[in-house]
Amino acid sequence: MINTEIKHNMALEFIGFISRYSKNEEIHEVVKEFDLKFNEDIEKWIEDINNEISPFLKSDIELLVGGLWISQYAMLQMVIENKLKTPKEYISFFKRVSGEEYIKRCFDEYEINKYNDNKITFESKDDDIFEAIKFRKDKEEAKNFKQFKKYSTEMKKRLDMVLEEFYNKFFIKYEDKIKKIMKEKVKLSNKKFRDDPETFLEVIGRGDFSNVLKGDRDLRIYVNYTTEFDFAYYIDSSICNIIYGYGMEQRFNQKKMREKSKDFFKALSDEKRLEILRLLGRRKWFSNELAKHFSLTSATMSYHINKLTDLGVVLHEAGDQNKVYYKINKEKLKELFDVALKDILAE
């Protein structure tokens, strides 16, 4: 990590916002499980868009953007790799990407072979790809990918129009306001990061990034305003890119610790989560190992893991071949027990 500075990029913001819009109701269902509050201004913007948008454009956004969970991460990576800065630059660049190239990029972002022992490639049989994506995400996503791959040229033309129309009709209205807001928020975020980089990344990313901070990789961190509670990172041998929603910084609020202790005991009331903690207390486990151990789908296992990572008692970390494994956070575990004990004893 050399002079890392958190930055805001409007092209990333645009992709984040249209992705948020495409699955807003689903995002609300997920976030309500955690002690986080949505930004009222952004909620109002989405309400205004819903009042103005045509049902045809809305339907296309929900299918072409929201229909592939992985698509936003493929788009975000394109922005970073090609050093694009504005929505217009991204839209212009994206139009030059073929449908097959785009859907291949989405396939690569699944990193299927990290979670499946079978060597599935983009050239594999459609049914094999379908089963692999269903295991990685769900049946609906697998079905959409199969159709997008089959009709990639038509899909891409419609997606190009969707991105341009959403930008020109809606996002452009909020662009200057977002820039102004984030100019100040980025300063505050950088101060928190400089004060304690390791804790900052652990809090917003619910993981252990100490190896990234201590290593020789070029660390780049981007913050989005409108995605609020998203977090993504990409690691290779030389670079680590982190993108997070500003709303994740709500997790710094120490006044929530008492509520966290209550959530902790709720989490422990589930036998599977308790067993996960027991297993992680003995050693680190890869994510697909845990899913197979409990005979659960990847999505169901992610649900249980997310409950524990949100509390901070479980951390994720990139392992060999960039596989993700989970480990227990003993200090946080002790902290939550201590807070609960003081609460019970009125200390």
What string of pLDDT tens digits covers the 347 residues of the chain? 556 899 999 999 999 999 999 999 888 888 877 767 899 999 999 999 999 999 999 999 999 999 998 999 999 999 999 999 999 999 999 999 999 999 999 999 988 877 556 689 999 999 999 999 998 889 999 999 999 999 999 999 999 999 999 999 999 999 999 999 999 999 999 999 998 898 888 888 878 888 888 877 788 999 999 999 888 888 877 788 999 999 888 877 644 566 677 778 888 888 899 999 999 999 999 878 888 889 888 888 888 898 898 888 999 887 655 677 899 999 888 888 887 777 677 55
What's the CA gap between 161 and 108, in Å, rounded? 24
Q: Domain segments of the chain: what residues?
A: 6-249, 254-344
What's the CA gap between 129 and 186, in Å, rounded? 40
Written as six digits, the tokens of 151 are: 């009709």
- The reported pTM is 0.77
pLDDT confidence of residue 322:
61
What's the CA gap between 327 and 281, in Å, rounded? 7
User: b/e for 275-285, b at 16 or more Cβ within 10 A?
Assistant: ebbebbeeeeb
Q: What is the CATH number of domain 254-344?
A: 1.10.10.10
